[in-house]
Amino acid sequence: MVVSMISSLNHQPRYVLHVDLIDKAVEVFRKMGKSYNCARTTQSFNTILNVLVNGGRISDATELFAKGPKMGFRLNSVSYNVMIKMWLGNTDWEKAMKVFDEMLGR
């Protein structure tokens, strides 16, 4: 069984595996507090935020960042820098500056 799963992975395009791993990481993050009896922290929040950004999932990262405080996370300089990196990487200077100004105003 495991051999056939590994074999099938070898035939998948690289981007499909990448997307699947991002989805699995998000799923683990969401289940941490319930299924895994492990507290989600700001550090784990920042890690999954960075995974989304590095995976090019801009809308998902933006949504998670906006929901962070409602989810009980205190956004820190790492949270803001991940988002600034994302916007600068997409050459959106205005959004990067907006996040930077938000960080300074908190």
Single out the residue of 93, 89, 34, 17 nearest to residue 56, CA to CA: 89
pLDDT at 33: 75
- Greatest mean pLDDT among 10-14, 15-19, 20-24 lies in 20-24
pLDDT at 81: 97
Fold of 2-105: 1.25.40
Confidence label for 6 from pLDDT (cuts 50, 70 and 90): very low
pLDDT at 16: 45
Q: What are the boundaries of each domain within the chain? A: 2-105
pLDDT, tens digit, for every residue of 23-52? 988 888 888 878 878 889 999 999 999 999
pLDDT, tens digit, for every residue of 50-91? 999 999 999 999 999 999 999 999 999 999 999 999 999 999
Q: What is the DSSP string of 14-74?
A: HHHHHHHHHHHHHHHHHHTTTTS-----HHHHHHHHHHHHHTT-HHHHHHHHHHTGGGT--
